[in-house]
Amino acid sequence: MQQYAVETFDLTKRFGNYTAVNGINLRVEAGTIHSLLGPNGAGKTTVLNMLSGVLKPTSGSAKILGFDVEKEPEKSKSLVGYLPEEPQIYETLTVREFLRLVGRAYSLPNDVLENRIDEYLELFDLKRVEQNFCGALSHGMKQRVVVCSILVHDPKVILLDEPFYGLDPASSRLFKEILRDKATNGCSILVSTHILEIAERLCDRVTILSEGRIVAEGTMDELKAKAGMIENTTLEDAFLALTRRNERSLEKQL
């Protein structure tokens, strides 16, 4: 039986009477980059929060590399690097201190940690600000530091919620190259984004959420075929067709 990097089983989250995520069965194959797309309010952040253990599901469950997120939280969390929609950064720590704090939380040996920090500071052109306070950095620089912080402990599964927001073109390109390189080396990545061009170019498979349900899943070509698109149409056309179709069918049910 194939083990998925991420697998959910009728995963559901209700806030009061509102069902934000409605019984989804999501699967991310190991060594792939998988995109989670959907209109505002579709439930993407709620799914990622449940996968990372930040939110408890109302019902259903999720596994990270076979470990149940609720029953085996330490194992599943140790495998995951999560970049949330609104990342927290300690404003009064320097860049290096912040990266050390994160690395130590994952019990990395000091020499490995310092080498990794050097490597990522260099890669993301942050060496010159390593002694600056995080609070004094520009928005995009903070985002680069947060990206470094999730890579520093070498996670096997990376969960990203709108990770490209605020990154300049060079950092964005670099981050995409790092993600592809990680996937080639067996890491699995689930990324929510509104930038369909990124999903189309970067991701192996796509899941489209709408109103808390999965409305489509597959490769770009499969999604285009599902949306009834002919060749040379874009993922944007398929996305709009599939999510509109879902809205119309919901309207009919009401």
| Residues at the site binding ligand ATP, with contacts judged by CB under 6 A | 15, 20, 38, 40-46
Closest CA to 188 of 223, 152, 140, 155: 155
Q: 92 CB contacts (<8 Å, ≥6 apart)?
A: 133, 134, 135
Which residue's CB is nearer to ligand ATP, number 20 or number 227?
A: 20
Instruction: Name the minimum Å distance from CB 47 to ligand ATP.
Output: 7
Binds 15, which of Mg ion, ligand ATP, none (CB < 5 to 8 A, cut-off by type)? ligand ATP
Instruction: Name the minimum Å distance from CB 197 to ligand ATP.
Output: 16
Question: Which residues make beta-bridge pairs with 191?
Answer: 35, 160
Binds 185, which of Mg ion, ligand ATP, none (CB < 5 to 8 A, cut-off by type)? none
Instruction: Name the minimum Å distance from CB 44 to Mg ion.
Output: 5
Scanning residues 25 to 44, which ones bind Mg ion (CB under 5 A)? 44
User: For residues 68 and 61, is the Cβ–Cβ distance under 8 A?
Assistant: yes
Instruction: Name the minimum Å distance from CB 45 to Mg ion.
Output: 3
CA separation for the pair 227, 248 (Å, rounded): 14
The amino acid at 141: M
Instruction: Name the minimum Å distance from CB 182 to Mg ion.
Output: 23
Orientation angle between helical segments 110-123 and 95-105, nearest 10 degrees: 130
The amino acid at 187: C
Which residue's CB is nearer to Mg ion, number 85 or number 200?
A: 85
Burial of 60 from C-beta contacts in 10 A (0-12 / 13-18 / 19+): middle
Binds 191, which of Mg ion, ligand ATP, none (CB < 5 to 8 A, cut-off by type)? none
Shortest-Cβ-distance residue relative to Mg ion: 45
Which residue's CB is nearer to ligand ATP, number 149 or number 192?
A: 192
Which residue's CB is nearer to Mg ion, number 85 or number 217?
A: 85
Scanning residues 79 to 108, which ones bind Mg ion (CB under 5 A)? 85
Instruction: Name the minimum Å distance from CB 20 to ligand ATP.
Output: 3
- Note whether 45 binds Mg ion by CB under 5 A: yes
Q: Tell me which H or E stretch contains 60.
A: strand 59-64
Q: What is the dihedral of CA 117, 161, 92, 155, to 10 degrees?
A: -30
The residues that touch Mg ion, with contacts defined as CB under 5 A, are 44-45, 85
